[in-house]
Amino acid sequence: MSELYVPSDAASAQVRKSAIRLSDGRELIYFDDREPYVSGSANRTETDIRGLEPLDIQSEIRLDVLTGDYVAIAAHRMNRTYLPPANENPLAPSRPGEPPTEIPAPDYDVVVFENRFPTFSGGAGRCEVVCFTSDPTESFATLSERRARTVIEAWADRTEVLSALPGTRQVVPFENRGEEIGVTLTHPHGQIYAYPYLPPRTQALVRQAREHRAAGGGSLLADVLVDEQRARVRMVLRGERWSAYVPLAAKWPLELMLAPHRDVPDLAALTEDERAELAVVYLDLLRRVDRFFPGVARTPYIAAWHQAPVGQDRELGRLHMQLFSVMRAPGRLKFLAGSESAMGAWINDTTPERIAGRLREVA
């Protein structure tokens, strides 16, 4: 198990937040960590020149009475942008001589804006896009610790703001990476969903946490972390404030969890020291993930930050990140066939102990 070193200059972050409106009324927020903007020496004055008309988005949420799961019906997403050529990247900066993009500025650090093709609409929920960098050739794993910290500040800010919206039940930042996952834009970015209902996984976690507490346990997620720290065999990394481990019943060929040592409901509640260490440990883990499969330069993955529910059952949740990959070997994917897709009965072709061992090996 690796020990974590956090450099002293990672202890604080200066980020300046400024918001504008795009031509169709959507909100866009800059999170600047470089001059001249971070100190306020200059202000963001760019405007969206595209003259977009507001989209008529009519999504709805329906209840599957057979399972109790909610399903978002969002037919307008069928026509969203799909793997455009490099000169039509909608997440690139808007530069002279090139088509204007979603970001009016000629350069940026981290940007958050309302998704033009959202899953939710009509005031029930909100979907935002988070651009990690203006450089389309990078990935989160190649960011500097300073830039990773800026992304964390953006996640924390949006978590706090979206949690305060009427009807929000859970806020989840996540990243899909790789065409194998099904990404439609290759520019390094993620999303943040403010769900107007509790997703099925959160409902299950709340149910298990309630039963665990009724049986005399404490916080389920905290108790699991302590158990993994004691067992050590599935531990990947242990820092002063964060630990990473492979779940006992991992479903995917590559899966890991990252959790704070302190009981924290969400990213907005993290201290300065916890955010500083998170920037270091998260980059460490992502770089290990990229070395996991021999000969694979960038491992496809989904990384999701599970945060405590907003309102009811909040005390049963606890911040943690789950990362998994659909790749089971170089050039081979794990397809969710009959047992997994039809019945929800998972089969893993490897063991959590082997996964953890490999993640320690590639440190």
**CA 201 to each of CA 152, 172, 210, 275, 317: distance values in angstroms, whole numbers, following the listed order:** 23, 12, 14, 25, 12
Among candidates 222, 230, 234, which has minimal Cα distance to 262?
A: 222
Among candidates 129, 73, 142, 70, which has minimal Cα distance to 103?
A: 129
Secondary structure of 187-214 as H, E, C letters: CCEEEEEEECCCCHHHHHHHHHHHHHHH
The Cα angle at residue 188 between residues 182 and 192, in degrees rounded to 5? 75
Q: What span, in angstroms and rounded, lies between the C-alpha atoms of 83 and 247?
A: 33
Return the bridge partners of 163, or none. Answer: none
**CA 126 to each of CA 149, 167, 201, 295: distance values in angstroms, whole numbers, following the listed order:** 24, 10, 19, 39
Q: Read off φ and ψ for residue 352, nearest 5 degrees.
A: -55, -35
Quick one: tokens of 43? 């202000």
306 annotated active-site: no
The Cα angle at residue 4 between residues 238 and 140, in degrees rounded to 5? 100
CB neighbourhood size of 298 (10 A): 13
137, 92 Cβ separation under 8 angstroms: no
DSSP state letter for 93: B
Catalytic residue among 76, 187, 189, 261: 189
Q: What span, in angstroms and rounded, lies between the C-alpha atoms of 363 and 84?
A: 35
What are the E-state strand segments in 56-139? Answer: 60-63, 70-73, 110-114, 126-131
State how beta strands 126-131 and 110-114 pair: antiparallel
State how beta strands 235-238 and 2-3 pair: parallel
Catalytic residues, which ones? Answer: 189
